[in-house]
Amino acid sequence: MYRNTHWIDEVKDQETEEVIQEGTPQSAGRFNNMEGGISDAHLAAALLIIQGGLTAAQVEVEEKTVTLSNSQSYPFNNSTQTIALNTVRNFTDYTVEAEITDHDGNVGDVKIFDRMLNGFKVAYDGSAKKATIKLRIKGGM
């Protein structure tokens, strides 16, 4: 975090050269503090430019709620389901957040895999017979 330095000029009497006001000491520590502040401000400006350039589609969130079922006994699980996206993506680097909203047993971990431009697969690896999962899909545009 930048610490502001209030700089004061050294003032001398023109005739006697007597120092009337001491100036702010110049040191590597003070100058490096200034360099760090300039660097932080430059980074913040660059991030604002990048963020401002994002389109509404790039920050839009697509939500889906799915109910996955598992008819096998643990440690086996056949809860995999393919999810189709409403909006086809340009890239497969979109993020998917999963929130378990209801379940019948131990859900374990929710897995998102086989991402494609138009969809992905979701499954859980626990012993639950059923789980309802809210999915939030962002990015990829």
* pLDDT of 65: 98
* pLDDT of 52: 74
* pLDDT of 51: 75
Q: Which among 1, 13, 70 has a CA at the least distance from the CA of 39?
A: 1
* pLDDT of 48: 85
In a domain? residue 122 = yes
Q: Do 97 and 33 share a structural domain?
A: no
In a domain? residue 86 = yes
In a domain? residue 2 = no
Q: Do 118 and 71 share a structural domain?
A: yes
* pLDDT of 10: 93
Burial of 43 (0-12, 13-18, 19+ CB in 10 A): exposed
110-116/81-84 β-pairing: unpaired
* pLDDT of 136: 97
* pLDDT of 56: 65
Count up the domains in the chain and report the number.
2
Q: Do 45 and 29 share a structural domain?
A: yes
Q: Is the dihedral of CA 19, 25, 27, 30 positive or negative?
A: negative
Full residue range of the structural domain in which residue 46 is found: 11-52
**What are the mean pLDDT values of the chain's consecutive 10-residue runs (141 residues total)?**
88 92 93 92 88 71 97 95 95 95 96 97 97 95 83
Q: Do 128 and 97 share a structural domain?
A: yes
Q: Kindly provide the b/e burial profile for residues 116-125, where b requires at least 16 CB atoms within 10 angstroms of the residue's own CB.
A: eeebbebbbb
